[in-house]
Amino acid sequence: MIPNISDETATPSTSIKVIEISAFDGWLNDQTDMVKNWISVQAFKPVKGAHIVVPNPEGGISFVLLVLKDLNWNVWSLASLPASLPEGIYKLEAELDEKQASDVSIGWSLATYKFDRYKENNKVFATLVLPVNADQAHVERSVYATNLARDLINIPTSDMGPKALEGAASQIAGEFEARQMNVVGEDLLTYHFPMVHAVGRASEQKPRLIDMVWGDASAPKVTIVGKGVCFDTGGLDLKPSSAMLLMKKDMGGAAMALGLAYMIMHAGLPVRLRVLIPAVENAVSGNAYRPGDVLTSRSGKTVEIGNTDAEGRLVLADALTAADEEEPDLLIDFATLTGAARVAVGTEISATFTDDDELFALIERHAKAENDPVWRLPLWDNYRELIDSKVAEINNSGSTGFAGAITAGLFLKEFVEKSKSWVHFDIMAYNNRARAGRPVGGEAFAIRTMFAALSERYGK
């Protein structure tokens, strides 16, 4: 079941005709007087994304006309329609290849997302007949994974703390018979995740390291790490209210990790997948970690705490070390890591860091094809000294705020040594404004891109 997508090709449906702006005048010329008249009395202007519902003589709908800037079909081409068309079943009149047909279906379905866990929402959306050529399984997993990530982010911390996040991971692991181990509370010290423990120990809910493994042990190892800070108060370096307001989304990296893992397992990609999620709440309490503390990380490296609000890199460091120990072919991490990345590329582009040019070229090509944009920022080694510490081997916050996303990336890089390739995504995990198919609220970033890149790299 794909929300608002019907695979009943035989059911009566209303046609959606799509033309590009430049073809409008010619198209209008060929229409009946009735259609010409309707378009005229409605004062319809063929601007990009505009649509008009054209009636038939019986008072029903004859067809829908959608005007696009061009016919370069992408995931959002039809995404404005489900919310604005009258309820009913529609069929697209266009010849699309498999990728195009799948993409427009994904965008249509994603546009019908509702977060109605706490309040009834009676909004109804139009349904699209799955276009011929669409890869139904791919549409299903793309929509499911994205909406899963959206839900996990939108659910407030009161119902999505570290324990609930572990439960969400277990549900997915169960569906695909993945093995899951959770290292919880004091056990984090026994099993050597000291920084996950230090950051999370002030919370009512125990910190934990979620560790999921799936697939053929002899297949190439792909490991995904996701920042699972279920709420980020900033710790003793408390955030001001405006900056704290949205910090339920600070587990967005974990949501992406689970979404991408879902797609990989659903597709049965021939990889040995591992997902590592440090799930904590960065809280304030008498036993909270402090500015000036020195932590010894899982890797042995000592870390001076310059700022308790730079907690993400601490919990990620221990998880990255654990990932790195088994020398994966590819190590991917997703994190709502810095405000600086948002200043650099805004909220709608995934800031991407890797030293592997070939890997980035692969990712960038798929990001364009998926309409899931990334932009590369440098792991500029000359900035490493900005996170030097006088008392420890490294500091968790820079001596200056400049290049904050880069110094955060360089911090993480210290904990990745043996992995063949590593890529780090610093993401927003949230739509600050509504766009076609993307309502305000939690959002998946770079997971459709990475699924496509992984499919090409490891394909069956």
- Residue 154 site contact among Zn ion, ligand BES, none (CB < 5 to 8 Å, cut-off depends on kind): none
Q: Is 336 in the site for ligand BES (CB under 6 A)?
A: yes
The interaxial angle of helices 447-458 and 136-154, nearest 10 deg, is: 140
Task: Figure out which of the listed residues 140, 211, 281, 309 binds ligand BES, where binding follows CB under 6 A.
Answer: 309
The count of chain residues that interact with ligand BES, using the rule CB under 6 A, is: 16
Q: Is the dihedral of CA 260, 275, 363, 268 positive or negative?
A: negative
Question: Count of CB atoms within 10 A of residue 218's CB?
Answer: 8
Q: How far is the CB of 121 from ligand BES (least distance, A)?
A: 27
d(CA 84, CA 102): 21
Element (H, E) at 447: helix 447-458
* Strands 221-226 and 330-335, bridge-based pairing: parallel
Q: Is 312 in the site for Zn ion (CB under 5 A)?
A: yes
Q: Is 140 in the site for Zn ion (CB under 5 A)?
A: no
d(CA 310, CA 412): 12
Q: How far is the CB of 310 from ligand BES (least distance, A)?
A: 4
- DSSP string over 340-354: HHHHHH-SSSEEEEE
Q: How far is the CB of 229 from Zn ion (least distance, A)?
A: 5
Q: Is 248 in the site for ligand BES (CB under 6 A)?
A: no
- DSSP string over 185-253: TTHHHHTT-HHHHHHHTTSSSPPEEEEEEES-TTSPEEEEEE-EEEEE--TTSPPPHHHHTTGGGGGHH
Residue numbers 233-252 binding Zn ion by CB under 5 A: 250
Is 212 in contact with 199 (CB distance < 8 Å)?
no
Question: Cα–Cα–Cα angle for 273, 426, 189, nearest 5°?
Answer: 60
Is 312 in contact with 238 (CB distance < 8 Å)?
no
Q: Answer left, alpha or beta for residue 276, where phi above 0 means left and psi between -120 and 50 means alpha.
A: beta
Question: Count of CB atoms within 10 A of residue 86's CB?
Answer: 11
273: amino acid identity, one letter: L
Q: How far is the CB of 262 from Zn ion (least distance, A)?
A: 24
Q: Is 318 in the site for ligand BES (CB under 6 A)?
A: no
Is 201 in contact with 283 (CB distance < 8 Å)?
no
Q: Which is nearer to ligand BES, 16 or 377 (CB)?
A: 377
Task: Figure out which of the listed residues 140, 211, 250, 333 binds ligand BES, where binding follows CB under 6 A.
Answer: 250
Q: Is 312 in the site for ligand BES (CB under 6 A)?
A: yes
Q: Is 309 in the site for Zn ion (CB under 5 A)?
A: yes
- Residue 281 site contact among ligand BES, Zn ion, none (CB < 5 to 8 Å, cut-off depends on kind): none
d(CA 354, CA 375): 11
Q: How far is the CB of 98 from Zn ion (least distance, A)?
A: 39
- The yes-or-no answer on residue 239 being catalytic is yes
Read off the tokens for 143: 């929509």
Instruction: Choose among 223, 180, 238: nearest CA to 321.
Output: 223
Task: Figure out which of the listed residues 103, 166, 232, 414 binds ligand BES, where binding follows CB under 6 A.
Answer: 232
Q: How far is the CB of 404 from ligand BES (least distance, A)?
A: 6
Q: Is 443 in the site for Zn ion (CB under 5 A)?
A: no
Read off the tokens for 250: 């600070």
Q: Is 339 in the site for ligand BES (CB under 6 A)?
A: yes
Residue numbers 402-441 binding ligand BES by CB under 6 A: 404, 428
Q: Is 39 in the site for ligand BES (CB under 6 A)?
A: no
Q: What are phi and psi of 127, to 5 degrees?
A: -110, 140
Stretch touching ligand BES by CB under 6 A, among 161-169, 302-310, 352-360, 438-446: 302-310
Q: Is 310 in the site for ligand BES (CB under 6 A)?
A: yes
Q: Is 232 in the site for Zn ion (CB under 5 A)?
A: yes
- The yes-or-no answer on residue 36 being catalytic is no
Task: Figure out which of the listed residues 4, 233, 321, 338 binds ligand BES, where binding follows CB under 6 A.
Answer: 338
Question: Cα–Cα–Cα angle for 30, 35, 36, nearest 5°?
Answer: 70
Is 216 in contact with 124 (CB distance < 8 Å)?
no
Q: How far is the CB of 341 from ligand BES (least distance, A)?
A: 7
Fill in the per-residue mask, 249 to 268: x = in contact with Zn ion (CB under 5 A), - = not in contact.
Answer: -x------------------
Active site residue: 239, 301, 376, 384, which one?
A: 239
Residue numbers 371-400 binding ligand BES by CB under 6 A: 397
Q: Which is nearer to ligand BES, 4 or 336 (CB)?
A: 336
Which residues neighbour 401 within 8 Å (Cβ) at sequence distance 6 or greater? 340
- Residue 404 site contact among Zn ion, ligand BES, none (CB < 5 to 8 Å, cut-off depends on kind): ligand BES
Stretch touching Zn ion by CB under 5 A, among 46-54, 106-114, 152-160, 312-320: 312-320
Active site residue: 91, 208, 249, 313, which one?
A: 313
- Residue 338 site contact among ligand BES, Zn ion, none (CB < 5 to 8 Å, cut-off depends on kind): ligand BES
Residues making contact with ligand BES (CB under 6 A): 232, 250, 307, 309-312, 336-340, 342, 397, 404, 428
Active-site residues: which are they? 239, 313
Residues making contact with Zn ion (CB under 5 A): 229, 232, 250, 309, 311-312
